[in-house]
Amino acid sequence: MSRFLVERDDETRVRLSEGMELTKGQSVLAVLGLAVLFAVPDITRLTSLSFQAVHRGILFGLAAVGLNLLLRHTELVSFGHAAFFGVGAYGAAVLASHFDVSSGLLLLFGGVLASTVTAVLIGYFVAGYLDIYFALLTLAFNQVLYAFVLQSGYFNYSDGLSVRPDGLNPPTLFGLQWSSAGYDLILYYFTVVVLVVSLLAMWKLVNSPFGRALDAIGQDRTRARFVGIPVEKYVWIAFAISGVYGGLAGGLFALLQLHVSPDPTLYAFVSGEILFMAILGGFGTLVGPVVGGVVLVYLLIQAPFYVEYYNALTGLVLIAVVLFLPEGILGSIPKIGTGLARRRRDPGLLREDLTTLGSSLRRGANRAVTTVRIIVFGVN
């Protein structure tokens, strides 16, 4: 047996590193996903898909991966993760606008450093809270940062800051000044590399003793304390790590957009969108938030060209996901695959599905009629 292949549970697995193993099916999906990611520039060139929208979706998806560390493992819902995305973006923009830093990697490092410090500070204050109090506190800190940037001349108020160190050209990447098309392409491939490394790091983290401790905290904080887990300290660390992912995504966003302003980066609705991405893609999976990010950003950018009431579209998509795909797009694929396989073996199940669907629709219609009757006549 090769060092890259191991036998476990009567199955041959591909070993990427110690403790990091993939089944054959997972290996095929991983290779397919990587191939699609690297082929995106060619795919968008040959089709009507927007390259810019896919790139932005991956960046917001990366921020959602960070948020998912809290959501999935500690069961804490943050309404303020745009704070770290925005601080990461503004960290890069401030270095470019006020200090003429021209290296893209240094700008990204500055953004990540700023968001990490911010996450550590905010995490210190919120780590001891639960449920709605935790959610509201994160939202409050997000709003404070948004209002501060919006009212500050240093950040150029609502007009924001340019990420062009000389006022004309984009930052250099790997020591070179690229043309506009070359810059976009190199930055995209760099984003893909950062995404893959970030996903592998998150995978190692959640499968480590620290990740298991976060799972225990999410299931029952009191019991976690009884077994000796320092709950607040671990939540604080997880919050800071989550902020690093947000800052990384925000810094790359600044390099992509070459201009940073408060509304697309720090506004509270952006926090809601990042949370929605994790749920839409499947917060029970590692890659689901990235899929959710690409899908939602694409909807938000492209829907106005096709649908008049595009603002309602995201709401309708969320309703559909909650009702029909409660485990998200990626999280529901195994269940859908199993269901389809069962129906191929037993076509009679399709009749049961139609009967169940008809019963559900009748119950829904009856509830709607009852509600209208109560509203109009005051009685059932």
**pLDDT tens-digit map of 49-72:** 888 889 999 999 999 999 989 988
Element (H, E) at 15: strand 11-17
Same domain, yes or no, for 12 and 35?
yes
Q: Are residues 117 and 205 in the same domain?
A: yes
pLDDT tens-digit series, residues 316-350: 877 777 777 778 888 777 777 777 777 777 777 77
The β-bridge relationship of strands 20-22 and 259-260 is unpaired
- CATH number, domain of 166, equals 1.10.3470
Answer yes or no: are the C-beta atoms of 237 and 126 closer than 8 Å: no
Q: Which residues of 49-64 are buried (b: 16+ CB within 10 A; e: fewer)?
A: ebbebbbbbbbbbbbb
Range of the domain at 193: 50-332
| Rounded Cα distance, 121 and 278, in Å | 24
Contact 108, 94 (CB under 8 A): no
Question: Residues 113, 31: one domain?
Answer: no
The reported pLDDT for the residue numbered 3 is: 67
Residue 341 lies in a domain: no
Co-location of 105 and 193 in the same domain: yes
The answer to whether position 340 is within a domain reads: no
> pTM for this one?
0.85
Q: What is the pLDDT of residue 380?
A: 63
How many structural domains comprise the chain? 3
* 137 and 180, same domain (yes or no): yes
With a cut of 50, which residues of the chain have pLDDT below it?
Answer: none
pLDDT value for 379 = 65
The pLDDT score that the predictor gives to residue 86 is: 94
Structure confidence at residue 155 (pLDDT) = 93
DSSP strand pairing (259-260 vs 5-8): unpaired
> What's the pLDDT score for residue 2?
65
- Whether 164 contacts 96, CB under 8 Å: yes
Are 170 and 268 part of one and the same domain?
yes
Q: Both 164 and 109 in a single domain?
A: yes
Decide if 92 contacts 103 (C-beta within 8 A).
no
Same domain, 78 and 127: yes
Residues 196 and 228 in one domain: yes
